[in-house]
Chains A and B, each alone.
Chain A
Amino acid sequence: MTTLAIINARLLDPSTDYDGPGSIVIEDGVLSEVNRGSWLVQADQVIDAHGLCLAPGLIDIRVKTGEPGAEPRETLKSASQAAAAGGVCTIVVQPDTDPAIDDPAMIDFIQRRGAALGLVNVRAAGAATRGLDGQRMAEIGLMAEAGALYFTDGDRVIANSRTLQRVMSYAGTFNALIACRPADPWLTEGAVAASGELATRLGLSGSPAIAERMGLERDLALVEQTGARFLVDQISTAGALETLARARGKGLDVAVSVSINHLCFNEVDIGDYRTFYRLDPPLRSEADRQALIEAVRDGLIDVITSAHAPAPAEDKRLPFAEAAPGAVGLETLLPAALSLYHEDGLDLLEVLRPLTAGPAALLGLESGRIAPGLAADLVLFDPDAPVVIDAAQLKSKSKNSPFDGRRLQGRVLLTLVGGRIVHDAR
């Protein structure tokens, strides 16, 4: 049995608010020792971190791949490689594949395929309705038993309130988490940008900010009635944040996620019709972006996701409104998130919490923290190292990164999943 130690690290554990020197020892893939301060440790192999950051491996709960159904776009393998390179130890794939992940056998398929790759932990979200049709409830109980972590129709809004009410109510039996994009389906129909002066000038059809608030109001009313465990998936406007705060003030226990893109970019970025910035929900105003960053700082955001949505060149090299929405983000998630530390004054624990302990607590995962007895899912990174993102170098099959050419700070040096080194850039 070989042991591996990482010493002289700056240990960052958001679950216990610890940010200080420390070392860890891994035995059999499991953290056997977690030492705070300077300790002498013994191990077969010792890695000196030289004071760089050692944090729980990131958990990305919103990853689209193209497997099954659209493998040229992305496979579980290419997504896993991208995740490993990005310090992401657990990915939760979205159910909007072809066929959709709406069946316990599909959950099993994804998990087996992911495990066989031996890279990162691959988990799945199940569809809330069969074939994502928004009408017929999917097999939530059987999928939960098979290992589905939560249930969602992905980018599709369940327009029929009665269906959503039944899904929420039914899911309660299994204490299953339901996630929904907050959006009024009619106000957002055909929209490719945020409503406003810019979209009007560019001649793009806009999605008004109130559409998000209206969708959220409905969802929250149903949560209140059914008592469902609920995740507001990808909030993007200040108005919806206010609505959420009001509901939480009344005692409603709901979680919320935000995509990294909406923390880093605003509507101005679509100015020259660059389709890599065509996202869903669309990029919003700078005031919205600032409100989202404030919410992360205040601990109101449970989860930051990469919203990884690979789209090949043929789907992106099109006029803006015709291009597929979405951006890849697994590999750039950490350096992009660190911009909140470098530019917006958040501390490292505030940035890391919604990337690790937050999603782990939401999904009931053991990972997302550094404690003895847990699987050694870890990321070692240099928070200050400058990087220039080159989309062509990304491991994803699709290269649609809005960060292409951007200068960021933060380099992932080592990713360990279950004690195995799956990425080494030291």
Chain B
Amino acid sequence: MTQLAPSGHSVTDLIRERLVPFPGRHFLSAVDLNPPAAIALLDLADAFVDLNRSSAKALDLMHGQTVMNLFFENSTRTSSSFEIAAKRLGADVVTMPVQASSVKKGETLIDTAVTLNAMKPDILVIRHSASGAADLLSQKVGCSVINAGDGRHEHPTQALLDLLSLRRAFGDVGNLTVAICGDVAHSRVARSNVALLQMMGARVRLIGPPTLVPGDADRWGCEVFHDMREGLQGCDVVMMLRLQLERMTGALVPSTREYFRFWGLDREKLGWAAPGARVMHPGPMNRGVEIDSDVADDLTVSLIQDQVEMGVAARMAVLASLAVRRGADR
């Protein structure tokens, strides 16, 4: 729900009005938020969306501060999303090609962290293939840490941007039934979304083959389904997850064609969901594996493009409010 600035009020004023300190020093997990804090971040992000759509996008909220992007795993969209967000807030951004440097020389995560910490960044954005890497890093550095994805654990800014997309599409998120479909077992996106959506009152279902949906996931308070037809019944939102190619060749799923036949979202399966259901995907998509292009590219049902746009705004909100928090702590 976009709240437009009252007349005579600029977007910049609106942003300054809505600027609140982040609830903690780090953003490592969706549970670092609480419902009022999440709503405040969404309100702020809404204002950033307006800013991003205007021609003058640059602010000086983080002038003089350094944001360091530390991506131990390949990622184009998330790292550029963070980079753009930080730059629009006026921060200095350093994106470290970690894969190419110290790690190859045998440096441990902690050593890298301590080294970088000595360069006095204000915010570290980290992605790492090991679950818990962001937590570990946050204990060793003086700056704020944003988890941009740690192994199969969490990806909290993704959940926040998904929530923003949903709120803008539906208004109230609390009445929604959201189906998260596919490789839940290996998905940090799923874990963060389950936590945040449930916190905001939405009902969450998990759908996928038993090899990809952990058997004990029903204890997360989600209903678990292995059959798309049953699971999608009455769902307002169908959130598809990416299936890693190496998991499709017989280890967890027999083949891509079998996966698509039973769990790939096409028109027919989408028809089983509630009328007007919207489709989401954190990207990058495997077309013809977990999602049919016909559905992914239909802007009347797909929120996938929105999600990318909301990513920048949501990350600006997180960065800006973390900066406020740091200013208040000092």
Contact = CB atoms under 8 A, between A and B. Distances in A.
Interface in B251-267: 251-255, 257-258, 261-262
A261 B215 CA distance: 41
Contacts of A173: 209-210, 226-227, 262
Contacts of A420: none
Contacts of B34: none
B175 interface: no
A139 interface: yes
Contacts of A169: 210-211, 215
A9 interface: no
Given A166-B211, A169-B210, A137 B262 contact: no
Interface string A128-156: 01100001111111100000000000000
Given A136-B250, A140-B254, A141-B254, A170 B210 contact: yes
A-B pairs, top 10 by smallest CB distance, nearest first, are A136-B250, A139-B254, A169-B210, A173-B226, A139-B258, A137-B254, A170-B211, A137-B250, A142-B258, A166-B211
Given A170-B211, A173-B210, A173-B227, A141 B250 contact: no
B249 interface: yes
A166 B252 contact: yes
Given A129-B250, A173-B226, A173-B227, A139 B211 contact: no
Nearest to A169: B210
Interface of B: 209-211, 215, 226-227, 249-255, 257-258, 261-262
A226 B209 CA distance: 13
Contacts of B211: 166, 169-170
Contact of A141 (B215, B252, B261): B261
Nearest to A102: B254
A172 B258 contact: no
A142 B209 CA distance: 14
A226 B250 CA distance: 18
A248 B208 CA distance: 30
Contact of B251 (A137, A141, A226): A137
Contacts of A138: 250, 254
18 contacts: A135-B250, A137-B251, A138-B250, A139-B255, A139-B257, A139-B258, A140-B254, A141-B258, A141-B262, A142-B258, A166-B211, A166-B251, A169-B210, A169-B211, A170-B253, A170-B254, A173-B227, A226-B210
A48 B251 CA distance: 58
Nearest to A172: B210
Interface string A366-392: 000000000000000000000000000
A137 B258 CA distance: 11
B261 A142 contact: yes
B260 to A, nearest CB: 10
A137 B251 CA distance: 6
Contacts of A140: 254, 258
B249 A136 contact: yes
Contacts of B226: 172-173
A130 B257 contact: no
Given A169-B210, A172-B226, A173-B210, A142 B257 contact: yes
A136 B251 contact: yes
A166 B210 CA distance: 8
A137 B210 contact: no
